[in-house]
Amino acid sequence: IKKVNYNNHMKQKRGRGILKSFQIKTKINFGKGALESLEQLAGKKVLLITDPFMVKSGLVNEVIKYLQKSEYTVFCDIVPDPPMEVVTAGIKEFERFMPDVVVALGGGSAIDTSKAIVYFAKKILNLENIKLEDVKLIVIPTTSGTGSEATSFSVITDAQKGVKYPLVSDELLPDVAILDPELVKSVPSNVTADTGMDVLTHAIEAYVSTQSHDCSDALAERAIKLVCEYLPKAYADGDDIKAREKMHNASCLAGIAFDKVSLGINHSIAHAIGAKFHISHGRANSLLLVHVIDYNSQIKGYKTIEFSETAKKYAEISSFLKLNIFNEKIAVDSLKDAIIKLQKQLNMPLTLTECGIDAKEVESMKDEIAELALNDNCTKTNPVKPTKEDIIKILEKII
């Protein structure tokens, strides 16, 4: 499996301006009962890709009951931080069964793996009389966090090197996403917190990305508002179906936003931390969020007269969240305070040590983590161009 080259979204110079393009390929079926749309697959061959927990818990049956008029098989070898070996096994299963439709059920790992399987199967399999380009990908997220159901990203891990590779191609975009809040009611509170903070990080990083524009800002703004209002409610009561639905929608909205404009160093560092210490991606993002906002704002002292454009955008977030916005510095501080308050409501750890990671181990890997973060594709759209020393300083704040 070869790493997909980074392909930034289209920019074409026309005279003195830049033509920007915004298009959503994925059809989104959302709301209670959205799974019923699977009945349209009657008569199709369906490869259902999921993880062992979905099978053991019986949640996979919520999908299978709508496939009774389809020919289907289940591939359930998905693991967290999906390695290349699982993708390869999935391609072999794809070749054996030759589906008309691939349905991915699960969290980010199941969806990312399914994207990679379909993408590479279409690239490397050479089968007579079969149009692989016609194979559709339907994704059904069972967590409200990654937004992977509507993005052209897939993160695959090289377990031997301890490195995560973000694959980027519009060909990775699912054809259909099904957002049914009934599937996330049983998500444990700690996972609800981790994935919810992932949504918030996606939205905030998209909002200040160097490629952000009016369309992405509108999606990111709505996602931020939804998270701040409904994440505490979903955390406190998993059966609150309205809160679950709103968080599911927020995840998708944030996913569409960052898919169009990418992310920043919050994710770059989180990718490296996750690969090295195997903590959840959302939790890694949460640890970094306040410190990355502080770094990107570039506000020093109390007598700053001019504020960066990034600080002004963070201030806009404070404004639409109705926080204190006396000036940009106060507004940025208010945003950081609001995030810390939210983290405390969710009982989130604030350091790697609180996550059970040995501080000495982190110290020994600082240089390597910083190098990985600098070379991560998400760094390209961070509003401030960081140095290796900058990354290390941020990392030291979460030890």
Angle between helix 309-320 and helix 214-236 axes, rounded to 10 deg: 50
**Residues present in the chain in total:** 399
Q: Which runs of consecutive H residues, i.e. helices, occur in the chain? A: 52-57, 61-64, 84-97, 108-124, 189-208, 214-236, 241-261, 265-277, 281-297, 309-320, 328-345, 359-375, 388-396
Q: What distance in Å separates the CA atoms of residue 259 and residue 26, rounded to the nearest whole number?
A: 12
Q: What distance in Å separates the CA atoms of residue 286 and residue 52, rounded to the nearest whole number?
A: 27
* pLDDT reported for residue 8: 43
* pLDDT reported for residue 365: 96
Beta bridge partners of 51: none
Task: Using pLDDT thresholds of 50, 70 and 90, give the confidence band for residue 303.
Answer: low
Q: What distance in Å separates the CA atoms of residue 78 and residue 141, rounded to the nearest whole number?
A: 14
* pLDDT reported for residue 10: 38
* Top-confidence residue, 27 or 275: 27
Beta bridge partners of 138: 103, 176
* Top-confidence residue, 243 or 7: 243
Q: What distance in Å separates the CA atoms of residue 317 and residue 196, rounded to the nearest whole number?
A: 17
* 115-157 confidence digits (pLDDT tens): 999 999 999 987 666 788 899 999 999 999 999 999 998 988 8
* 158-194 confidence digits (pLDDT tens): 877 777 787 889 999 999 999 999 999 999 999 999 9
Provide the 10 A C-beta neighbour count for residue 187: 23
Q: Is the pLDDT of residue 16 over 70?
A: no
Query: For residues 110 and 143, is the Cβ–Cβ distance under 8 A?
Result: no
Q: Is the pLDDT of residue 37 over 50?
A: yes
Q: Is the pLDDT of residue 44 over 90?
A: yes
* pLDDT reported for residue 58: 94
* pLDDT reported for residue 129: 64
Task: Using pLDDT thresholds of 50, 70 and 90, give the confidence band for residue 17.
Answer: low
Query: For residues 332 and 293, is the Cβ–Cβ distance under 8 A?
Result: yes
Task: Average the pLDDT over each of 27-41, 165-179, 190-204 and give the range with the smallest value.
Answer: 165-179
* pLDDT reported for residue 131: 83
- To the nearest whole percent, how much of the chain has pLDDT over 70? 93
Stated pTM of the model = 0.90
* pLDDT reported for residue 283: 97
Q: Look over the chain and give the mean of its residue pLDDT values, rounded to a whole number.
A: 92
3-state secondary structure of 29: strand
Q: Is the pLDDT of residue 11 over 60?
A: no
User: Percent helix, strand and coil across the chain, each rounded to 5?
Assistant: 55, 10, 35
311: CB partners within 8 A, 6+ apart: 297, 298, 299, 328, 329, 332
Write a three-state SS string for 72-127: EEEECCCCCCCEHHHHHHHHHHHHHHCCCEEEEEECHHHHHHHHHHHHHHHHHCCC
* Closest to 142 in 3D by CA, of 190, 169, 104, 197: 104
